[in-house]
């Protein structure tokens, strides 16, 4: 799970870093440095909430029975997949206008006062933090023998994102963000499909949904300790003995989601009335 969690930490962390860069740069360039303190306060509160949420998930899991733990894990896995899917489509749709949108919210918050600035920064960063905590927690649950690799992967991804965000702010790094978010988004869809399949398996182990014994296939030669086994499990959440229900949900999620995400965006067609109106204006 190291690679998958590194990717989610990098993706979500970079989104949060870009948001912070836009907010800070706008305030500095407009000469309103006094507003930086409430912005940093909001960011700090968002980070603290994300850490507390992660700890609460872990503590709750330790206090539950096996069936209740599997039911909670399966439910939260499905919720995490929904949140991540919404996030990548939201970023695909609004990335071009994100800067203008944040500037507008910040202008309104400046007019309303210090508390509004804290809230804008908190909400802008907190959403990514909560999504990251939930998605990482679901991946940690699927790692074998309590491995700390998933958590290390997420922390390394977030650290990379923070460094990239700083370099963006200093103007030292230039990459095509549209292509970056497209490729990482597509990879996250694959990771999310695996998390969804594990979520379904958890619900089956909790005896909440049937079909736990109905295996779609079993790869007896699959060695989870081998390099290829580690790669498949870490990147694609591959399982050597999935149930038919897992395979069904994996396929029904992955194929249409990837198609909708990767298909070219439609450009708005010119209205029929535009040409005559222009001609009329020229005639006048």
Does residue 275 lie in a domain region? no
CA distance 252 to 170: 43
Q: Per-residue pLDDT for the chain (284 aa), expressed as one digit of tens each?
A: 666 677 777 877 777 787 777 777 777 777 777 778 888 888 889 888 888 887 887 777 677 777 887 888 788 888 888 877 887 787 777 666 666 766 677 777 767 777 777 787 787 777 777 777 777 777 666 665 455 666 787 788 888 888 888 887 777 666 666 777 777 778 778 878 888 888 898 899 888 899 888 888 777 655 545 555 555 665 566 677 788 999 999 999 999 999 998 887 665 554 454 444 444 433 43
List the alpha helices (DSSP H) in the chain: 2-29, 36-62, 66-94, 98-112, 114-142, 149-170, 177-205, 227-236, 244-262, 274-283
Does residue 60 lie in a domain region? yes
What's the chain's length in residues? 284
Does residue 278 lie in a domain region? no
Q: Provide the residue range defining the domain that includes 259.
A: 2-265
pTM for the structure as a whole: 0.63
CA torsion, ordered 88, 94, 96, 98, to nearest 10 deg: -110
Does residue 253 lie in a domain region? yes
Number of domains the chain contains:
1
Does residue 282 lie in a domain region? no
Does residue 280 lie in a domain region? no
Q: What is the pLDDT of residue 266?
A: 65
C-alpha separations of 234 from 5, 7, 79, 119 in Å:
9, 11, 20, 36
Does residue 99 lie in a domain region? yes
Does residue 162 lie in a domain region? yes
């Amino acid at each position: 799970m190291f690679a998958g969690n590194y990717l989610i930490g990098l993706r979500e962390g970079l989104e949060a870093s870009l948001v912070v860069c836009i907010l800070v740069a706008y305030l500095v360039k407009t000469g309103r440095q006094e507003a930086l303190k409430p912005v940093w306060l909001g960011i700090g509160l968002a980070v603290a909430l994300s850490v507390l949420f992660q700890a609460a998930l872990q503590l709750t899991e330790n206090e539950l029975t096996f069936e209740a733990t599997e039911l909670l894990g399966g439910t939260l896995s499905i919720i995490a997949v929904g949140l991540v899917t919404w996030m990548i489509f939201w970023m695909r749709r609004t990335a071009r206008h994100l800067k203008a949108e944040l500037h507008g919210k910040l202008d309104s918050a400046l007019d309303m006062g210090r508390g509004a600035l804290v809230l804008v920064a908190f909400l802008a960063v907190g959403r990514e933090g909560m999504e990251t905590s939930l998605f990482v927690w679901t991946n940690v649950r699927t790692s074998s023998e309590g491995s700390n690799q998933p958590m290390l992967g997420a922390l390394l991804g977030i650290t990379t994102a923070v460094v990239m965000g700083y370099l963006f702010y200093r103007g030292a790094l230039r990459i095509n963000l549209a292509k970056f978010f497209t490729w990482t988004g597509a990879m996250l869809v694959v990771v999310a499909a695996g998390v969804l399949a594990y979520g379904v398996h958890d619900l089956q182990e909790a005896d909440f949904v049937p079909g736990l014994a109905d295996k779609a296939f079993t790869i007896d030669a699959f060695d989870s300790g081998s390099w290829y086994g580690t790669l498949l499990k870490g990147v694609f959440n591959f399982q050597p003995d999935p149930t038919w229900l897992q395979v069904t949900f994996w396929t029904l999620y992955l194929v249409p989601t990837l198609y909708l995400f990767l298909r070219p965006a439609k450009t708005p067609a010119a209205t029929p009335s535009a040409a005559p109106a222009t001609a009329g204006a020229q005639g006048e």
